Structure 1
């Protein structure tokens, strides 16, 4: 692991979110669709960093990217806007019971309150001791401080009872996907200082 992003003042100007799931599709002579998925789902991001001077942002940013040694190292990234859940939950939510690889309905308890929308569809979740991030795919309603939450993709690692569920400031563990990283000068400010721009692509590390 080699650090966390964003660093210092290297803020995002734009962010593209991708879901990658390699799927093989074929058809029988009768026209029936045959489907097989050959690996685990993972998220990926395309990021553009704000245009700024080397002294303000890009010196530190260049050093951070160099530390990644192309795609060799992993780092964490907390994407803006989507890092916090849209739901109303504020407590320390726990997994209720054990859950096996492949499960998509996860029993949880210790919600701070009851009612609809504790988690909302599209919220991201991460479980203690897991690198993988999951998405809530249906609004969660709690009763007696408990709820069953539907997620995708299916669990790739079993869950232990009372595992803590992170739903705000969810950090994705990622790696760079390109061997060449280019920092471009796109102009200058009113004092003649060069302004840099940088775009990069990352993919979730499982």
Structure 2
């Protein structure tokens, strides 16, 4: 597994949340939608302006992924850290089965409002899937709370599984085997590199 190199400084990230549904439409145009327990993130990473040497280095790394073959991790500025207080070292309080969307946690620092906020990205220590918080969560005096997430748990989480809320790593894979870059000689061969990725599950 690779890691996004330091030379690829992220200036912009575009997120898409992809849920799995099956839709059919009757002859009277009534639509029937059935949900399937599947989800992935599609993320486009766009670098800051790179010098010619930086571009060569970043492009060389991207080519080394062999298209879709190699997954890599990326910590995305701003989005990989909670906007909530996030005080403490949270862990799973009660073993929770695959398919759950409400996860009991403990290990936060006392009674604090806004420990985690809707829109925060989190990850459980026993698998790579990244989840999004769907409602603000406040901890009680014992440092406990119940966290609502999307999508449903892709894998069961045992008691004491850590919850990652800082520097949350996304495990990604390129969408296409091709990798391109464009250099405009008018600006001194400074260019950006763009990676179209999807979550590697």
RMSD: 1.7
TM-score, scaled relative to structure 2: 0.93
1:4 is matched with: 3
Q: For 1:150-161, what aligned pairs fall within 5 Å after superposition?
A: 150-161=148-159
Q: Which runs of 5+ in 1 are unaligned?
A: none
Q: Which runs of 4+ in 1 moved over 3 A?
A: 27-33
Cα offset, 1:197, TM superposition: 2.3
Q: Which runs of 5+ in 2 are unaligned?
A: none
Q: Deviations over 1:72-121 (max 9, x none)?
A: 01000111221110111221100011111110000000111212101000
Quick check: 1:196 aligned with 2:194? no
Q: For 1:1-206, what aligned pairs fall within 5 Å after superposition?
A: 1=1, 3-5=2-4, 7-28=5-26, 33-38=31-36, 40-55=38-53, 57-143=54-140, 144-189=142-187, 193-206=188-201
Count of residues in Structure 1 that have an aligned counterpart in Structure 2: 200
User: Take 2:73 and 2:129, find their aligned partners in 1: how far apart are those partners?
Assistant: 12
TM-score, scaled relative to structure 1: 0.90
